Amino acid sequence: MALTAYQDRTAVHVHAGQMEIRLAESAAEVEAAQALRYRVFYEEMSAHPTPEMARSRRDFDFFDAHCDHLIVLDRGLGAGAVVATYRLLRREGAARCGRFYTGDEYEIGRLLAVPGEILELGRSCVDARYRTGPTMQLLWRGIAEYVQHYEIGLMFGCASLPGTDPKALALPLSYLAYNHVAPEHLRPRAVAERYEEMRLMPPEAVDARAALAALPPLIKGYLRLGGFVGDGAVVDPQFHTTDVCVVVKTDLMAQKYYRHYTREDGASRFEEG
């Protein structure tokens, strides 16, 4: 696939020892990110690839050509060694697509109405050998630089919990709904035909400590940055997940980022469909 002409390669570039984080600069690097996504989502997890994906052993879709691809490389493994990735979509890319990916699952009109630049985060994953605090910190540092470069005021995206039975996820879903729902003016809502209730337990039955332990580290990372969730969950049968829509105001992220992600106390692993 060809890279988009509008990508600004100066937006992110950080070295940390033999590790480097930046935007993909070639079609080969995008394909390496897609290959990593395939290994994590389809081989390690239980997602269902299309025949075309299975043949190429890459996870790809219509949106990829219009996104920036944030990649972490281990230079000790040689050129092209992509060990973590995040897919980033701003307004201009979404305009070319005709929509944001999140819009397939959530009504996001309130987010689109926010003035200024907004950013959709998605398709994040890390190679199993690199699911460590330092890799997490490097990814968040890359996102922070990207946010600053493009003066992004709001980030959002679908984050996943494993499994397609919301009732089995009653504890973490209820905890999120009671404690971290977005303010009404920023609250996305699951599209009617896919809406799954999140308040599956009475408030007094929700053990916050146990709920946090049950949340995937990526979602906990968003919460540490002041993130909110939308109204309703969505089951994604392709990725065998139950999704929530996460919203992060970057002014809150700026206040909390250095406190939480400049020391080695990050979550040990994360992935997102």
What is the model's pTM?
A: 0.89
CA distances from 269 to 21, 25, 130, 133, 170 (A): 17, 26, 8, 8, 22
pLDDT at 75: 83
Mean pLDDT of 140-168: 95
Q: 231 with 194: CB under 8 angstroms?
A: no
Per-residue confidence band for 136, with pLDDT thresholds at 50, 70 and 90: confident
**Could you tell me which residues come within 8 angstroms of residue 51 by beta carbon, excluding any fewer than 6 positions away?**
none
Question: Looking at the predicted structure, is the pLDDT value of residue 26 above 80?
Answer: yes
- Report the alpha-carbon distance of residue 75 to residue 56 in Å, rounded: 25
Q: 161 with 219: CB under 8 angstroms?
A: yes
- Report the alpha-carbon distance of residue 255 to residue 196 in Å, rounded: 33
pLDDT at 223: 94
**All domains in the chain, ordered by first residue:** 13-261 (3.40.630.30)
216 membership: H or E segment, kind and range: none
Q: 230 with 182: CB under 8 angstroms?
A: yes
**Could you tell me which residues come within 8 angstroms of residue 163 by beta carbon, excluding any fewer than 6 positions away?**
169, 240, 241, 242
Mean pLDDT of 20-35: 95
182 against 269, higher pLDDT: 182
Question: Looking at the predicted structure, is the pLDDT value of residue 145 above 90?
Answer: yes
What's the whole-number average pLDDT of the chain? 89
Q: In this structure, what token pair is assigned to residue 82? A: 């992509």
- For residue 9, give the 3-state DSSP assignment: coil
Q: Amino acid identity, residue 153? A: G
